Amino acid sequence: MVGREFDVVLFGATGFTGALTAEYLAANAPNGCRWAVAGRNPAKLEALRERLAEINPDCAKLELLRADVTDALSLRAVAARSRVVISTVGPYIHYGEPLVAACAEEGTDYLDLTGEPEFVDRMYLGYHARAVATGARIVHCCGFDSIPADLGVYYTVLQLPEDVPIKVQGYVSASAMFSGGTFHSAITAVSRYRDMAKAAAERHRAEDRPKGRKVHGIKGLPRHEKIVGSWVLPAPVIDSQIVLRSARELDRYGPDFSYGHHVAVRTLPAAAAIAGGAGAAVLLAQVAPVRRWLLGRIKPGDGPDAQARAKAWFRARFVAEGGGRRVLTEVSGGDPGYGETSKMLAESALCLAFDDLPSTRGQVTTAVAMGDALINRLRRAGLVFRVVDERAAVAG
């Protein structure tokens, strides 16, 4: 990608999370970083640039690029000019594919913050091979979905001996509000359960499996988990899929790796409310008129204000055993959905653009593509990665 005009281009910069990501880049992009914002509405881009210039006067010169998901040539032009392109335009199953296709064709690194399993699987089936051929790295799930889980497990595995079977259980707690874009993506994803299952099956048939190693998920049950002091519920979200894909690619996860992913809450009534609410949302989303009503309750672009975001937090704890050792680790930070997600997304882009990384190509996870370098970046940016406890494993 020698001679590219931009190091990073942010597509969808005028949306809720896109604007937060742009603000983070304005405040934290290193000197000499050549970045730009892209979108379909010139007036909104101009207004964004004015706000960014208040954060960093140099942004008064920020280049504004016209790009629209309905105009493949505009996306191809953006991809051809940049080393890394970030997308915050969702639901990705509706709007994401054209930009992935453009980046795969141009050999441009691509990042997003999707949590939609069907989209990720469809992009693997459609563009992984082309991205391998052109050298593009396609990295999905670079926000709260699924960096805390993916890098948290990676960090945890590094605390254990090599070449031993490893079992990890992840427990995620959070206090936060969601935006309209996140709500629309979630409802859209669960309404497409059959399509999601079909895409997963197609990918399973197409994807290579590690030779001589075992990688598998753990199907847990609701229970009280003493080690984290919480009631825990199995969380059928994309995080566990991303963790297992990292484990298949990286031998450091050992000859036999297993992972279970859970939501952790303090009280049994709260656990029951979460389970009931999630089940109701899945059922209601299957009925088209009800789904349209739900989507009309909150608009894309809406989201929690700065005061609400300042009070939000998340904590992901990982309990791992391997080689006769047990370790408890933690990844934690502030507002998971927006403040920290925009930080994770922006730092991932800067990591791909500027850091010395392993040689990878095609659709890869954050742990595989960036690993230690991204953990170091996120630590400097204020996220916590730490070992809480380490001891000999309890027999049996």
Same domain? 65 vs 129? yes
Q: Are 129 and 216 members of one domain?
A: no
* Statement to judge: residues 272 and 357 lie in one domain: no
Domain containing residue 289: 147-336+384-392
Residue 242, domain member (yes or no): yes
Mean pLDDT, contiguous 10-residue spans, the chain (396 residues): 90 93 97 96 97 97 96 97 96 95 98 95 98 98 95 98 97 74 65 88 93 93 90 90 98 98 83 64 67 67 72 93 96 89 97 97 98 98 95 63
Residues 221 and 253 in one domain: yes
The residues pairing with 331 across neighbouring beta strands, listed in sequence order, are: 316, 385
Structural domains in the chain (count)? 2
Which residue from 72, 148, 102 is spatially nearest to 343, judged by alpha carbons?
Answer: 148
CA distance 12 to 21: 10
Residue 104's CATH number = 3.40.50.720
Q: Evaluate whether residue 1 is within a structural domain.
A: no
| 91 and 154 both lie in a single domain | no
Q: Are residues 202 and 327 in the same domain?
A: yes
pLDDT at 396: 44
Same domain, 184 and 268: yes
86-108 burial by CB neighbour count: b if 16+ within 10 A, else e?
bbbbbbbbebbbbbbbbbbbbbb
Residue 272 lies in a domain: yes
Q: Are 160 and 183 in contact (CB under 8 A)?
A: no
pLDDT for 237 equals: 86
Residue 265 counted as domain residue: yes
Q: What is the pLDDT, as a whole number, of residue 336?
A: 87
DSSP assignment of 81-95 equals HEEEEEE--SSHHHH
237 phi and psi angles, rounded to 5 deg = -110, 180
Q: Is the same domain home to 279 and 171?
A: yes
Question: Does residue 201 sit within a domain?
Answer: yes
70 shares its domain with 36: yes
Same-domain pairing of 332 and 370: no
CA distance linking residue 155 with residue 258, whole number of Å: 15
DSSP state of 42: H
Asked whether residue 128 falls in the same domain as residue 234, the answer is no
Angle value at C-alpha 184, between 220 and 281, nearest 5 degrees = 45
Considering the domain architecture, whether residues 349 and 312 belong to the same structural domain is answered as no
9 and 85 in contact (C-beta within 8 Å)? Answer: yes
Q: Position 186: which residue type?
A: A
Q: Is the dihedral of CA 273, 275, 276, 279 positive or negative?
A: positive
The crossing angle, in degrees rounded to 10, of helices 371-380 and 339-354 is 130
Q: Is residue 206 part of a domain?
A: yes
105 in a structural domain: yes
In a domain, 178, yes or no: yes
pLDDT at residue 286, rounded to an integer: 73
If you count them, how many residues does the chain have? 396
